[in-house]
Structure 1
Amino acid sequence: MIKAAVVSNGLHGIHKYFVSNKNVEYTILEVTKNFDPDLKPYDLLVVPNGSDHIAMGRLKAKVADFLKEGNTLFCFDGWFTNWIPGNQWIMSNEKKTIDIRYKVKTDRHNLMEGVDINLLIYNHNISGWWACGYIEAAPEADVIIEDTWQRPIIVLDEKTTNGTMILTASGPLGDSGAIPTDDENSYAALGKLYQNMIRLILQKKENEKNRVTV
């Protein structure tokens, strides 16, 4: 079981995308004026689309300590403050979205297994719909998906800290328990991608447990 904290601005509907299930116990952390949550009880910190990166900037040191302990960060939103170790989102609108295509660059952990990349490229015939920029990835990070111009869109970083970071340039990812994955649409693809991310974290927890008990 993963204990996950989800940062929330109070955006309508966010709770339904992060519902506790057999694999993950979610706690919603509402951003307040003096936002300073205790991250120690959690294995995973989720920063979803539409988050407050001014508030997250104030937690830079706390997030670094969280990752130092071997925990996991998911960030699914362009972060304009420098709070994520080694990686930085860059806002970019100089490329026409009609020209944007995505492709898998490296995927050692099969995060894209069962995910139709065309559903990430197109949504209602609009291409490049979910990334309003790109990521300047850490030198040793894996670029899972890159765009037409080889700019990182999804990054897996297992090297910069003792923990694991899965970062996307944007995109409304959420637990597919609330997303109709039997429907062939972009949100179903994002739900499948999220489940693959959770599977990776569960595998890492199991491997760590076995290592400790040997």
Structure 2
Amino acid sequence: MTSTSPRALAVYDGSGIDGGLYSRVVGWADAAPYWLDQLIKVWSAVGLGLFAVLMVLAWWRARGAGASVMARVLASPLIVVVAYVVNSGFKSVVEEVRPCAQLGVRGTLEACPGAGDWSFPSNHTVIAFAAATALWFADRRLGRIAGIAAVLMGASRVWVGVHYPHDVLVGAAVGVLVAIPLALAAGRAAPLVDRARAGALRPLLGAGAVITTGGASPLEAQRR
């Protein structure tokens, strides 16, 4: 019998929630073409780097946008860190065993993490959805791309065999719910960006939006 930690919830075996769906997805992966499995495996392993690239692109585009836009772009990496920390707290409280270990699945695309590397919620998914949400509030176009990438990241974590579907769904919710208030609050730092743009950081932060007769710069219009 597994000993019960006083700080842990009784969610050690997630197979009763959607273990059948997990097994079905892993079966699809086992029957899929080799090239597809390898593509998903690589994406699952290194795809989070795309969100960093999108943040850099958002910063570049925000150099010609308003101060609130730049403030949200600069805050986006910090928002992701906060979401990760919050999620780590959930993991340490719930302590759910990885599905590949709980169900004894062999030959998953990604090696099954060892004991103590808890499953619920999915860190990859939390990071992806927090980044996508933060980018959405800063730059709609990049936010849409990041949103699609976040969905693909979450799905890939089940496909490679290291997460239950509910790990991914809750991870997406955690990422979004943590990021929304922080992204909204980040816009209030616009005065700090304005002051920084007037000083030595102007080359990095840009000149900001150019006011036109329509009341908004072309870049501001594009991000809506």
TM-score by length of 2: 0.26
Q: Which of the pair has more CA radius of gyration?
A: 2
Structure with higher strand content: 1
Greater relative contact order (CA < 8 Å, ≥ 6 in sequence): 2
